[in-house]
Chains A and B, each alone.
Chain A
């Protein structure tokens, strides 16, 4: 089994001394879709920012597709890890969709026809090719989130890391995004506290709480364990029960 992502003993304290991660261990195999669950303040975003070397671990380390995250490898690491941020307005900073999707591959040195092919391919995968020449701020929120996914797909990442992909989406946009994610042939780490969404998309889940991984197993089993969920401030929405398989 090849590992897309391996995190070993990762510990991190913010410069003000607040310890956010206390030794995180996790692996994601190639082609897997894994949910990283945890309440607000569990350290989810801090962990995510380590995956592509934005934050440097105090202890331990991360490797992506076998390549350790170090300063020297940063360029390749950032190609391999496609980070989709929670607020698409943070992610989409160029004046048009086309330029925004081209930004990543252009930083990798792609130009001309090859660049154009990447851009149209990525937008086609998320069903946004028709909006290629529009300005991001003229798109609906759901469309912006899909374009945000395309911006990292265009870099042909080893692993797609999504930070709260379902937040602020209406039910239809949420379902459309799920269909797109399912259709992609790529490893996914999905950071969320939307438990039904995790169940819908990911076979396996991890629970991050208090800066450590406290559970790792099939999503269905974890969500059925109400004592485990309650101990880590996770709750299924009202009226939701894990459907029998």
Chain B
């Protein structure tokens, strides 16, 4: 598994997590509301991300390799022009749906920008800090607690899973085909029970140290106005790009594929 976090000490790394979370959310909203006809606007968004990456000293290959998570969306986007309805156009001798091409491009461009922004967020923010940010942003405390425990115990549970697999294989078991599924399923059940029992023991340990249902707030300093302003630069610029794109698209219109064409699909 590739690590998402890339430790560093840049202005981007230093921004409080809550600022970065909101900045990425704002950026994503700006990207999503950019009209798909304005190709240059998407290039503009990409340039903005490039600037953030440069400021955070995150090399482009680092981001590109991790964008593999997007693959299912890409496949879906590539399929759209093929299965879409008419009118059709011909590209390299293949008949493709015009509306499908637009829809595919739309998904591909917006999803890629969103994924790249999320990867930059994860690269510059420790998972732990992300949770502190989420808590700071008043996300439901219970959800944040669950995610915090997941973060802490993922390694423990994975280790347990690995030991169970090694124990199975040491006794000559190898999952080769579907008939072995019951064995694997039983292991999964045992793992679930073990994890559940661990959960109970952890709860006892928490009670023993005075836990009363609320996690004490520790070490999450508030963000200063300056930090918020710095973080707002990305979504602000992206909003400006989106706005400019809208003005262009609705004012002059794109020949052959104006705003009116957008609603037609």
Contacts and interface: CB of A to CB of B under 8 A. Distances in A.
Interface of A: 49, 52, 54, 75, 78-79, 81, 83, 85, 87, 89-91, 93-96, 98-99, 102-104, 106-108, 115, 135-137, 151-152, 155
Secondary structure call for the A interface: helix
A102 B198 contact: no
Contacts of B206: 93, 103
Contact of B151 (A52, A85, A95, A104): A95
A107 B156 contact: no
Contacts of B205: 83, 85, 90-91, 93
A79 B131 CA distance: 28
B208 A98 contact: no
A140 to B, nearest CB: 14
B163 interface: no
A203 to B, nearest CB: 26
A232 B207 CA distance: 32
Contacts of B211: 103, 107
A90 B207 contact: no
A49 B207 CA distance: 11
A54 B204 contact: yes
A103 B201 contact: no
Interface in B200-218: 201-202, 204-212, 216-218
Given A49-B204, A90-B201, A151 B219 contact: no
B148 interface: yes
B130 to A, nearest CB: 11
6 closest residue pairs by CB, A with B = A106-B216, A107-B210, A104-B209, A90-B201, A83-B208, A95-B128
Interface string B23-61: 000000000000000000000000000000000000000
B209 A136 contact: no
A54 B207 contact: yes
Given A49-B204, A85-B201, A78 B155 contact: no
Contacts of B216: 102-103, 106-107
Nearest to A76: B210
A198 to B, nearest CB: 23
Contacts of B128: 95-96
Contacts of A78: 207-210
Contacts of A87: 201
A93 B202 contact: yes
B210 A79 contact: yes
Contacts of B148: 94-95
Contacts of A137: 152, 155-156
23 contacts: A54-B204, A54-B207, A54-B208, A81-B208, A85-B205, A87-B201, A89-B153, A90-B204, A93-B202, A93-B205, A94-B148, A95-B151, A96-B128, A99-B218, A103-B218, A104-B209, A106-B218, A107-B209, A107-B212, A107-B216, A136-B152, A151-B209, A155-B209
